[in-house]
Structure 1
Amino acid sequence: MSERQEELKFAYWVPNVSGGLVVSTIEQRTDWSVEYNQKLAQTAERAGFDYALSQIRFTAGYGADNQHESVSFSQALLHATTKLKVLAAILPGPWSPAVVAKQIATIDHISSGRIGINVVSGWFKGEFTAIGEPWLEHDERYRRSREFIEALKGIWTQDNFTYRGDFYRFNNYTLSPKPVQKPYPEIFQGGSSRAARDNAASVSDWYFTNGNTPENLKLQIDDIQVKAANNDHKVRIGVNAFVIARDTEEEARAVLDDIIAHAHVEAVHAFGDAARQAGSASPEGEGNWAKSTFEDLVQYNDGFRTNLIGTPRQIAERIVELKAVGVDLILAGFLHFIEEVEYFGQKVLPLVRELEETALRRKAA
């Protein structure tokens, strides 16, 4: 299958913060250290993953008592690999577009074009307050992110760049050298609110959404793609998923039950309260986690809702169902990262590719 025949892409969450990807006290063979993560990156590269996404946290919470900074950490992963692309999470506010543009352009040269960014508009008010950053209302955060992305694109592609926004201004600025990747490194963003979807349909290359069913994802994706077409813009879609692949469905479901049974109840409720406060500030009163249950919030990007839990065959079939509704990338989290990423590459990914080929042949026929 050629690149233009749109093979699904696969990314994984980088555990550069402690606590793994679940708000649970269950035993995990996942570690936040540089050494563990470099080995994981090499494992993921061999397994067939395309991207790794480094997280950004400034304060402890939800099990993440220790956090490595995303841009610096991404470089460590790039140095340990040769093909994997690494996405560094960036928060407008703490970062300015001028600094990010220069940082990422340099890393792009060092890594031979393997760096990208995930622009996080921000949802945790306590984090911004703790580091002395102004906390903007919901839609203002996304409006700032839009200007942030527009400024980055301008700096990366133009000489004598001038920009007049409400949040950022540039006067005849020329960045040199510009990035290796043309026209610029890939720009990802997340969110589920109308403002997030509008941004994605206007300026972002990729849109990440929380885990969900194929039916609900299709509603979001159709909305984005109609708006993108009206804006003469193209955007691709990634969905969060927590993967529990085991030899039998019973084994996989038992692991899910064990994770939830060991949920850190106080931390899950605190996370849910903060997340809903951020989303309820949107004009439509919704954002990420608006409809999440307690069980959903144990995996803090609704990864259980995507239901990639079961045997390799079951998971591969569900992944291809997601592709059918417009998903281009699976952003995966795991309980025991290194061994489960390896298992996924050996058992699940080959089945996905087989099913993609079968679907392609049927379409051709």
Structure 2
Amino acid sequence: MEVFWFLPTAGDSRYLGTDKGKREVTPEYLQQVAKAVDTLGFSGALLPTGKACEDSWVIASSLIPITKRMKFLIALRPGFVSPTIAARMASTFDRMSGGRLLLNIVQGGDPVELAGDGLHLEHNQRYEMSNEFLTVWRRLFAEESVDFKGKYFDIAGGGIHQPPIQKPYPPLYLGGTSPAAHEVAAEHVDYYLTWGEPVEIVKERIAKVREIARKKGREVKFGIRLHVIVRETAEEAWQAADGLIQHVDDKVIEEQKKKFARFDSVAQRRMTDLSVDNRNALEIAPGLWAGIGLAREGAGTALVGDADSVAENMKKYAEAGVDTFIMSGYPHLEEAYRTAELLFPKLPLKQHTQEVSNEKKA
């Protein structure tokens, strides 16, 4: 089991739905969070992308010198940069970081935001483009010169001259709930990511993607994106959950509902169903809470409880096929420490196992 954390490049806070307790993005604060990730036992951290976020590549590059072991899961949107340029960027970053790059291929789900960046493609068209992008991407690391002519990309003699440390290329991640997402993930990526829905639904989705990949002659690993609210007792954890959304009133919820209505992301619609459209019954499964989705787009669910119950829920996801957990909590600095202190001793973490093995060999 591997646990990643999250770098809050769009800002951080103690509360959702209000400016109270807000923390601005500063180099110093992101360095604090990154150093916590680097030293507490997390495998790495996700750096998001979007209009409200600081640029993920720039932030990640700035953090290379102050970290030693954390991996950077950088969000990348195909269509905003050609696959050849992206491959060179990835290769450079991987070498400069000592082989610590991972890439999260994201499509974006808000047509308004995408149009603001010059991308005017419908949902399935974006996945078609990603399919072409990743086809070229993978060939670039296997062939000296690549020619490709498709609907979205026209590459003549593309190539990279400085290879990455990781072979054949830095691992690829991709999430999505639609059939188009499943096809692209099964065809190209190393990890399929799902958001935090009840374990039975996650298990079914994993089985579906695994079968599609099998028919293509491939194997895919699986990860899940969740928030976490862990405390010494379950009562404290649920009090913290309620406190996090104490400023989320009807006005905030209605504003979010209007915003989400324009999204064409199938995964976002499912998150909206679990939170905004289900606001009076937010514990959607034992220990799985959809309150964060009332005031935040993207991942909207959290595992809530004492360390034993949260660990038990994580192990249920692991039994369903998940081996990578990408987690976060508000505020991210304090919750990184709390998660490592309370939760990590309860989990069979990959890096901890390796450290114990190395000690025994010594």
TM-score interval, smaller chain: 0.7 to 0.9
Choose from 96, 99, 116 the match for 2:85.
99
Identity, % of aligned positions: 25
Contact between 1:125 and 1:135, CA under 8 Å: does it hold in 2?
yes
Query: Which amino acid letter does the alignment assign opposite residue 37 of structure 2?
Result: A
Choose from 300, 311, 315 the match for 1:316.
311
Change (3 A) 1:28 1:286: closer
- Shift of residue 37 of structure 1? 1.3
1:177 paired residue number = 162
Cα distance in structure 2, aligned partners of 1:97 and 1:269: 39
1:361 paired residue number = none
1:291 paired residue number = 273
Which stretches in structure 1 are left out of the alignment for 5+ residues?
1-7, 61-66, 358-365
Normalising by structure 1, we get a TM-score of 0.85
1:328 paired residue number = 323
Query: Which amino acid letter does the alignment assign opposite residue 47 of structure 2?
Result: S
1:63 paired residue number = none
Choose from 215, 220, 226 the match for 1:230.
215
Tell me whether 1:44 sits opposite 2:37 in the alignment: yes
- Shift of residue 31 of structure 1? 4.7
Contact between 1:276 and 1:290, CA under 8 Å: does it hold in 2?
no
2:140 paired residue number = 155
Cα distance in structure 2, aligned partners of 1:182 and 1:248: 44
1:323 is paired with a residue whose SS is: helix
- Shift of residue 92 of structure 1? 1.7
- Shift of residue 93 of structure 1? 2.2
Say which is worse superposed, 72-81 or 322-331, in terms of deviation.
Answer: 72-81
- Shift of residue 268 of structure 1? 4.4
Runs of 4+ more than 6 Å apart: none
Cα distance in structure 2, aligned partners of 1:88 and 1:266: 33
Change (3 A) 1:121 1:261: same
1:34 paired residue number = 27
Which stretches in structure 2 are left out of the alignment for 5+ residues?
280-289, 354-362
Aligned counterparts, 1:119-268, within 5 A: 119-131=105-117, 133-263=118-248, 265-268=250-253
Say which is worse superposed, 87-96 or 290-299, in terms of deviation.
Answer: 290-299
2:358 paired residue number = none
- Shift of residue 324 of structure 1? 0.5
1:52 is paired with a residue whose SS is: strand
Cα distance in structure 2, aligned partners of 1:235 and 1:289: 24
Change (3 A) 1:91 1:266: farther
2:141 is paired with a residue whose SS is: helix
Change (3 A) 1:244 1:24: same
Change (3 A) 1:278 1:194: farther
1:363 paired residue number = none
Choose from 2, 11, 22 the match for 1:9.
2
Change (3 A) 1:267 1:150: farther
1:182-231 Cα offsets, whole Å, 9 max, x none, are 01011111211121112111111112211111111111111111111111
Cα distance in structure 2, aligned partners of 1:14 and 1:315: 22
- Shift of residue 291 of structure 1? 2.6
Cα distance in structure 1, aligned partners of 2:189 and 2:258: 28
Tell me whether 1:82 sits opposite 2:39 in the alignment: no
Say what the alpha-carbon RMSD is for the aligned residues.
Answer: 2.5
Choose from 339, 349, 352 the match for 2:344.
349
- Shift of residue 300 of structure 1? 3.0
